[in-house]
Amino acid sequence: MGEAWRAAKLSPDELQKNFVEITPPLKPEEALVESNRCLFCYDAPCMHACPTHINIPSFIKKIATGNLKGSARVIMESNFLGATCSRVCPVDELCEGACVYEPFGKPIAIGRLQRYATDAMIANNWRLFEPGSPTGKRIACVGGGPASLSCAAELAKLGHKVTIFEKRELAGGLDTYGIVVFREPKEVSLKEVEMVRDLGVEVRTGVKVGEDVTPHDLLNNYDAIFLGVGLGRVLSLGIPGENLEGVYDALDFVEATRTQPIKEIEVGRRVAIIGAGNTAVDAATISKRLGAEQVLILYRRGQEEMTAYDFEYEFAKNEGIEYRFFTSPVRILGNHRVDAIECVRTQLGNPDPSGRRVSVPISGSEFTIPVDMVVRATGQHKYLQLLDNLGVKHDKGRVIIESETGRTSNSKIFAGGDCVLTPNAMAATVIAVEHGKIAARGIHQLLARAG
């Protein structure tokens, strides 16, 4: 793509401004006022709504009394990725949505208070936990994303020797490569990786299990394995024209904003995003903030069926993103580069095996939208071969686990995070963290029994 193709000539300053964190940190006086608003409820609903069950009233009370280190410790005890989660958690759907103040329109700003305490932890380099007394047991974690980091941290606190194998150059998974930069800077995720290393966990990056290390090696050399491989690249649309210049994978597009200087990232004038989940919203808002003039989200079902959170939908609309529901792409048109996308109108049909109603094209309703960039955000590949080589049972690539322990069909292998989620389940860092904790407990029990 040449410079001439760049959508709008935003100045480097404007671009930089568009990509700073949207939510500012609380000032000390704001944190004090907000923490004192909390009712410190008995049997607090916010705590039940947190997938990692952080003792929210306790950490807020500690902020109110000036004990920031104690507050950070309470958070990190339940969620070793508490700094990332304070920024990226869908709090409206979780803790803040359950706060007793929510029906009055002003829930306690739990996420921002959590960030206040964890930012202090990072700024002061507090070391809050120590490795446990060595047990002599060795565990391999496959993948270096939130699920594995959480599992590894819990196991290290129990005295086990853990090695993480991560195929990318940096660990952190999607927290490092996939979260939009105006929600969380990469440095926070990398700091969490460092904190896991500080517990004695070996993090081996640039090592792909299945190529550089075989599943057989892991099964022979470790007492247990945790599988936290997440999901692969975005699925192709399977329509003509996908190879044209100007067609992107949403994950590559988001990743570019975290790994390259913003001013070097190119975007079209008129962008079509295919899909309407949270990743689609991220790709759309990035396009807009890079300077695209028109950004359309094309979705083959209706608003009711969208998987994006309500707050993401509202955010997208506020950013000027337009939605075209009941619209499915048929082919991408252009000569070398995308000029347009041909779509067909759709209607809802019968439910599929997961219970979602399928979209049915209405023949003869084809129409064309002029665009110069198309971004695919339509679900991700699964690692079928790796799962088969490890010999774990899966359902079309979704690893089947026992929910109380994270154990797979192989008693030595545990799993968690995105690779175990059912199609309509919530995919979030905080869920992966909880899965990692559950599996760590499952592994610890297994190793204790083995003696």
- Residues lying near ligand FAD in the complex (CB under 6 A) are found at 88-89, 142-148, 165-168, 173-175, 178-179, 183, 208-210, 228-230, 251, 254, 278-279, 282, 383, 386, 417-418, 427-430, 432
Query: Site residues for ligand SF4, window 49-68 (CB under 6 A)?
Result: 56-57
51 contact, one of ligand FAD, ligand SF4, none, CB 5-8 Å limit per kind: none
Smallest separation, CB 367 to ligand FAD (Å): 29
Q: Where are the beta strands (DSSP E) in 299-356?
A: 322-324, 327-335, 337-351
At residue 138's C-alpha, the angle toward residues 125 and 166, to 5°, is: 60
18 contact, one of ligand FAD, ligand SF4, none, CB 5-8 Å limit per kind: none
By C-beta, is 107 or 268 nearer to ligand SF4? 107
Question: Does 39 engage in binding with ligand SF4 (CB under 6 A)?
Answer: yes
Smallest separation, CB 72 to ligand FAD (Å): 20
Question: Which stretch in 44-52, 136-144, 241-249, 373-381 sits in contact with ligand SF4 by CB under 6 A?
Answer: 44-52
Question: Does 101 engage in binding with ligand SF4 (CB under 6 A)?
Answer: yes
Smallest separation, CB 36 to ligand FAD (Å): 28
Nearest to 31 by CA among 86, 99, 73: 86
Work out which of 8, 22, 33, 41 binds ligand SF4, going by CB under 6 A: 41
Nearest to 71 by CA among 102, 32, 44, 105: 32
83 contact, one of ligand SF4, ligand FAD, none, CB 5-8 Å limit per kind: none
By C-beta, is 31 or 290 nearer to ligand SF4? 31
110 contact, one of ligand FAD, ligand SF4, none, CB 5-8 Å limit per kind: ligand SF4
99 contact, one of ligand FAD, ligand SF4, none, CB 5-8 Å limit per kind: ligand SF4
By C-beta, is 56 or 295 nearer to ligand SF4? 56
Nearest to 135 by CA among 70, 15, 223: 223
Question: Does 32 engage in binding with ligand SF4 (CB under 6 A)?
Answer: no
Smallest separation, CB 109 to ligand SF4 (Å): 9
- What is the rounded CA–CA span in Å between residue 321 and residue 366? 23
Work out which of 15, 26, 46, 280 binds ligand SF4, going by CB under 6 A: 46
Q: What number of chain residues touch ligand SF4 (CB under 6 A)?
A: 14
Question: Does 45 engage in binding with ligand SF4 (CB under 6 A)?
Answer: yes
Smallest separation, CB 24 to ligand SF4 (Å): 20
Work out which of 7, 75, 83, 108 binds ligand SF4, going by CB under 6 A: 108
334 within 8 A of 241, measured Cβ to Cβ: yes
Question: Which stretch in 98-106, 123-131, 384-392, 443-451 sits in contact with ligand SF4 by CB under 6 A?
Answer: 98-106
Smallest separation, CB 108 to ligand FAD (Å): 19
300-307 long-range CB contacts below 8 Å, 24 or more apart?
300/326, 300/327, 300/328, 300/346, 300/359, 301/276, 301/325, 301/326, 301/346, 301/348, 301/356, 301/357, 301/359, 302/326, 302/348, 305/348, 305/356, 305/357, 306/276, 306/277, 307/276, 307/277, 307/278, 307/424
Task: For the chain, give the longest Cα–Cα distance.
Answer: 70
By C-beta, is 76 or 179 nearer to ligand FAD? 179
- What is the rounded CA–CA span in Å between residue 446 and residue 451? 9
Nearest to 80 by CA among 205, 208, 175: 175
In terms of Cβ atoms closer than 10 Å to its own Cβ (0-12, 13-18, 19+), residue 367 is: exposed
Question: Using alpha carbons only, how large is the chain's radius of gyration in Å?
Answer: 23
Work out which of 99, 164, 292, 443 binds ligand SF4, going by CB under 6 A: 99
254-261 long-range CB contacts below 8 Å, 24 or more apart?
254/177, 254/178, 254/179, 254/180, 254/279, 254/282, 254/283, 254/286, 255/177, 255/178, 257/19, 257/180, 257/181, 257/286, 258/176, 258/177, 258/178, 258/179, 258/181, 258/186, 259/177
By C-beta, is 56 or 250 nearer to ligand SF4? 56
Smallest separation, CB 349 to ligand SF4 (Å): 42
Contact residues: ligand SF4, CB under 6 A: 38-41, 44-46, 56-57, 99-101, 108, 110
